[in-house]
Amino acid sequence: MKIYRNINDYKPVKNAIVTIGTFDGVHLGHQAIFKKMTAEAKAIGGETVVVTFHPHPRLVLNIDSSSLRFITTQEKKMEILEKTGIDNVVIIEFTREFSRTSSEQFIKNYIVDKIKPAKLVIGYDHHFGKNRMGDFKLLYDLSNRYNFKVERVAAQDVENIAVSSTKIRKALEAGDVKKANRLLGYEYSLCGEVIHGNELGRTIGFPTANLNIPDAFKVIAVCGVYACHIKHKGVIYNGMGNIGYRPTVSGNSQLTTEVHLFDFDQMIYGEEICVSFVDRIRSEIRFENMQALQQQLVKDKVAAIEILNRPE
pLDDT < 50 stretches in the chain: none
CATH number for the region 187-309 comes to 2.40.30.30
**Of residues 210, 221, 156, the one with CA closest to residue 187:** 221
pTM: 0.89
| Long-range CB pairs of 288-297, under 8 A, 24+ apart, other chains included | 289/248, 290/200, 290/203, 290/204, 290/248, 291/204, 292/248, 293/204, 293/248, 294/204, 294/205, 294/206, 297/204, 297/205, 297/206, 297/260
CA 117 – CA 18 distance, rounded (Å): 6
User: 3-class DSSP state for residue 80?
Assistant: helix
Are the C-beta atoms of residues 16 and 115 closer than 8 Å to each other? yes
User: What is the predicted pLDDT for the residue at 252?
Assistant: 59
Q: What is the pLDDT of residue 109?
A: 95
Contact of 144 with 171, CB cutoff 8 Å: no
At the topology level of CATH, where does 2-162 sit? Rossmann fold (3.40.50)
**Can you give the pLDDT at residue 215?**
85
Give Dmax (Cα) for the chain.
Answer: 73
pLDDT value of position 248: 61
Angle, helix 165-173 to helix 177-184, in steps of 10 degrees: 160
**Which 8-state DSSP code applies to residue 203?**
G
Q: pLDDT tens, 254-286? A: 889 999 999 998 889 999 999 999 999 999 888
What is the three-class DSSP state of 277? strand
Residue 70 bridge partners (DSSP): 218
Domain ranges of the chain: 2-162, 187-309
Nearest by Cα to 18 from 129, 143, 178: 143
Residue 240: which of 172, 175, 305, 311 has the closest Cα? Answer: 305
In this prediction, residue 86 carries a pLDDT of 97
Q: Residue 235: enclosing H or E segment and its boundaries? A: strand 235-244
Structure confidence at residue 281 (pLDDT): 97
Cα separation, 22 vs 45, in Å, equals: 26
Separation between Cα atoms, residue 89 and residue 176, nearest integer Å: 31
E strands present in 21-113: 47-54, 88-93
d(CA 137, CA 160): 27
Q: For residues 155 and 122, is the Cβ–Cβ distance under 8 A? A: no
Q: Which of 99, 34, 147, 126 is nearest to 137 (CA)?
A: 126
For residue 50, the model assigns a pLDDT of 98
Burial (CB < 10 A; 0-12, 13-18, 19+), residue 277, is buried
Q: Are strands 224-232 and 272-282 parallel, antiparallel or unpaired?
A: antiparallel
